[in-house]
Structure 1
Amino acid sequence: MTRKETTPLSRHVDGIYRTESRRVFATLVRLLDGDFDLAEEALHDAFRAALEQWPREGLPDSPRAWLVSVGRFKAIDRRRRAARFAALDEMPEPGCDDADDPAVLADDDIGDDRLRLIFTCCHPALSPEAQVALTLREVCGLTTEEIARAFLSAPATVAQRIVRAKTKIRNAGIPYEVPSQVNLPERLDSVLRVIYLVFNEGYAASGGNALTRHELSDEAIRLARLLASLLPEAEILGLLALMLLHESRRSARTTPDGDLILLEDQDRSRWDAALIAEGQALVDAVWSTRRVGPYSLQAAIAAVHGGASEAAATDWARIVSLYDLLERLEPSPVVALNRAVAVAMHDGPAAGLALIDALLQRGELTDYHLTHAARADLNRRLGQVEQACAAYEQALALAKQAPERLFLERRLAELHAAASD
């Protein structure tokens, strides 16, 4: 939405836009035969109409249904004006349209238009990069710039990926549907990857003034729950457990002013015990199947943290062993970095620092701010002030998110002050 108002109702409309716009969009895509661009235009037309009509007519009983209905009317008008379809005269006139019909607005047997949308965006005909970019844009409503930061890519590159993906969907006739039960398992990997990226963007935003964007994390968890109800495979349950266990720590991750609090310094009484219990139960259920995958292993690591009453009680030996399994199952520089931090906690900072230095010497994660932040912290713990300052400065040069930058600046200032004493 581009129009800015200051009235209470307009602020309420802004709130509805934040919480409902992508749901409205997903339903409009279904009602408009999979036309992403027309659905996006209809979505914004509907919210413009809401800003004009709701102050006069009041808030409708069902804002989402109203927005879907008006958006569909607006799309019909756009199609008529553009004369895109020869048979448009057969379409119902406004006032006779069936968009208010519960049978039209009701979700089908999968229970969610957004789940249908995410499977369409993650269709195997699209490249993995396009799947993620399109889902973040169309399902979650992230801007091109936000997606570019997540990809460490230029905004123009991401925009081209999105345009090409929508063109591919249209030209290839990719259906707007959830795959059949037979084809569903092979489609899950890309969907799980996208859902987890959405969660991560909400749990640790890639940029901006806030550490988190809870609406994205909530949406990722909601989608994972839907997936689990549809197909309770071990890795779906593992991903859900992982997100729940991370989400349990949200309220303890920042001060009232929004400043970052590290895991070891968090007030664990503020962790959500219900989410921890649910996540740990899911981890136990997955491990009982003996079909443990990368998400399940990460969830098991998070469960170890969740079971520690205080930081000093953390079973770091167990965490290191789980990272050993994860590194064998799905090796990656980020997994190696996380394992190095766990090793530092178990065997001492020098052991972890050696592993991180080896990563950097191989040219891995040199542009990842958390690599340099971890290295800086280990140097700090070893009393190597000059090296710690240099690493903090490198991390600060790469960090995009305001709370992380503030945290790094404070650590750097503390080191400079200590060195001058």
Structure 2
Amino acid sequence: MTAATDAGRAVADAHRREWAFVLAATVRVAQDLDLAEECVQEAYAAALSAWERDGIPGNPAAWLTTAAKRRAMDAIRRERTFRARLPLLVEPEEAVDELALDELDKPDEGQAMDPEDVIPDEWLRLIFTCCHPALAQEAQLALTLRLVCGLPTPDVARALLVSEQTMAARITRAKKKISAARIPYRVPRPAELPDRLTAVLGVLHLLFAAGHTAPSGPTLMRTDLADRALHLARTLRGLMPDEPEVCGLLALLLVTDARRVTRTGAGGRLVRLEEQDRSLWDRGALAEAHELIVAGLRGGRAGRYLLQAAIASLYAEAPTYEETDWPQIVALYDRLLSLWPSPVVALNRTVSVSMAQGPAVALAQVEALEQEGRLSRYQYLPAIKAELLQRLGRTDEAAAAYRQALELTGNEAEREYLAGRLTGQEAGPA
């Protein structure tokens, strides 16, 4: 029983830590994302019984990689045997396509550096590879978060504000398009990186968000995901130091993560921003973020991530929550909305509006967003609405909104907080 438990824990830990590395190595052999994912899943399943029987290997990632690659090679050999025995089933055009793929995988004449030497991190290489411009950006984000980052499909759906069924279909369509269009697995060349940067930044942002507040599960945070996103953002900045939005994303992640140790209290209880001990915030991370933000704003090319970092920095710079420069935050949100008209940004803006102009003004804006319907699956809309209604003394309506937020929330720490607000066990201004 102990061996089985130890093996199960080791497999779970290897899945969390090594999935991307094993998948990347397997895709190199399989040249097909769907086949590679299937082989990696089989390798993890085989590890459960093998590690229970033979003991946990000293290098789990190497064991899993070898097992997955062997399965991929076996599948390729079976396919080749099938084709060799039934040559009439292979159309001439298909052979031409395979030749074209071979040409696509060849390096450009005079290329000075292998793309894998340009991108020094295995995870980052795989993210750039999956963010292929032939796919719609929503598909790039979904596929990469699911395959590379290992997020469960329900969590990817929550991150992108769609139903689980829609997300599963989106991922399936993306895989089929890769197969039908014969998009090769190839690390992009240096000249191709800028075309994929927007999607890569989006993946890293969503990966960090899933770590900062886990879409589901018993704990508020998944620090492994947050740490991975921070590492990748730093690596990306080293790769593309002159890209303002790369610096902006790193600054946003730094200033947000600086509050990590104060976000939960005893027993993992969620601690709201206004209640956090600011003396415990990571001042080194805040200072680093501040330098990146100032340099970016001076450059005059503030994008969405830099503006979000500037907003988060204003929260962090205030001596207390009440002393936050709310009008300035509203102004920055206005700039951000003009650049990126996202309903989530509009909702976040209402929090600062409630402090600068009062809860009634903010509530009207929240209700307008509710009427639009684009945030019907976003738990923070009814949660913010409930806080505003409570501040206005409309307790029955606030309770209804809290119940709606509870229905949409999968994170247990957030559910406990909302339940406490609903029952009146917690108090305080929104």
Partner amino acid for 1:74?
R
Q: Show the counterpart of 1:123.
A: 132
Let me know the Cα RMSD of the aligned residues. 3.0
Q: Show the counterpart of 1:22.
A: 20
For residues 200-253 of structure 1, give each alpha carbon's deviation from its aligned partner in whole angstroms, at most 9, with x where no partner exists: 122222223222222222222222222222212000110111112112222221
Partner amino acid for 1:42?
C
> Residues of 1 paired with 2:251 and 2:277: CA distance?
21
> Residues of 1 paired with 2:277 and 2:46: CA distance?
46
For residues 305-328 of structure 1, give each alpha carbon's deviation from its aligned partner in whole angstroms, at most 9, with x where no partner exists: 222233233222221221121122
CA contact (8 A) 2:347 2:381 kept: yes
Q: Show the counterpart of 2:295.
A: 285
> Residues of 2 paired with 1:241 and 1:185: CA distance?
20
Partner amino acid for 2:400?
A
Residue 187 of structure 1, CA deviation: 2.0
Give 1:228's match in structure 2, choosing from 228, 237, 240.
237
Instruction: Check 1:152–1:327 CA distance in 2 against 1; reply closer, same or farther (3 A cut).
Output: closer
Instruction: Check 1:366–1:38 CA distance in 2 against 1; reply closer, same or farther (3 A cut).
Output: closer
Instruction: Check 1:286–1:31 CA distance in 2 against 1; reply closer, same or farther (3 A cut).
Output: farther
- Structure 1 window deviating more from structure 2 (200-209 vs 238-247): it is 200-209
> Residues of 1 paired with 2:427 and 2:268: CA distance?
24
Matched, 1:40 2:37: yes
Structure 1: state its 5+ residue gaps: 88-105
Give 2:406's match in structure 1, choosing from 387, 396, 400.
396
Give secondary structure in 1 for the equivalent of 2:207: helix
Residue 14 of structure 1, CA deviation: 2.8
Q: Show the counterpart of 2:317.
A: 307
Give 1:160's match in structure 2, choosing from 141, 157, 169.
169
CA contact (8 A) 1:130 1:162 kept: yes
CA contact (8 A) 1:28 1:68 kept: yes
Normalising by structure 1, what TM-score? 0.84
* 1:171-190 superposed matches below 5 A: 171-190=180-199
Give secondary structure in 2 for the equivalent of 1:331: coil
- Structure 1 window deviating more from structure 2 (146-155 vs 23-32): it is 146-155
Q: Show the counterpart of 2:73.
A: 76
Instruction: Check 1:66–1:386 CA distance in 2 against 1; reply closer, same or farther (3 A cut).
Output: closer
Q: Show the counterpart of 1:8.
A: 6
Instruction: Check 1:359–1:81 CA distance in 2 against 1; reply closer, same or farther (3 A cut).
Output: closer
> Residues of 2 paired with 1:283 and 1:71: CA distance?
43
- Higher RCO by CA contacts (8 Å cutoff, separation 6 or greater): 2
* 1:13-412 superposed matches below 5 A: 13-32=11-30, 34-48=31-45, 50-51=47-48, 60-81=57-78, 83=81, 108-232=117-241, 233-363=243-373, 365-412=375-422
> Residues of 2 paired with 1:335 and 1:10: CA distance?
41
Partner amino acid for 2:412?
A
Partner amino acid for 2:186?
E
Residue 37 of structure 1, CA deviation: 2.8
Residue 148 of structure 1, CA deviation: 2.7
Q: Percent identity?
A: 48
Give secondary structure in 1 for the equivalent of 2:119: coil
Structure 2: state its 5+ residue gaps: 86-114
Residue 413 of structure 1, CA deviation: 0.9
Partner amino acid for 1:254?
T
Instruction: Check 1:320–1:4 CA distance in 2 against 1; reply closer, same or farther (3 A cut).
Output: farther
Partner amino acid for 1:266?
Q
Partner amino acid for 1:161?
R
Partner amino acid for 2:351?
V
Residues paired across the two proteins, number:
397
CA contact (8 A) 1:319 1:342 kept: yes
CA contact (8 A) 1:297 1:326 kept: yes
> Residues of 2 paired with 1:328 and 1:139: CA distance?
32
> Residues of 1 paired with 2:8 and 2:217: CA distance?
24
For residues 86-135 of structure 1, give each alpha carbon's deviation from its aligned partner in whole angstroms, at most 9, with x where no partner exists: 59xxxxxxxxxxxxxxxxxx964311232222223221211222212111
Give secondary structure in 2 for the equivalent of 1:124: coil
Q: Show the counterpart of 1:91.
A: none
> Residues of 1 paired with 2:161 and 2:3: CA distance?
34
CA contact (8 A) 1:389 1:415 kept: no
Q: Show the counterpart of 1:103.
A: none
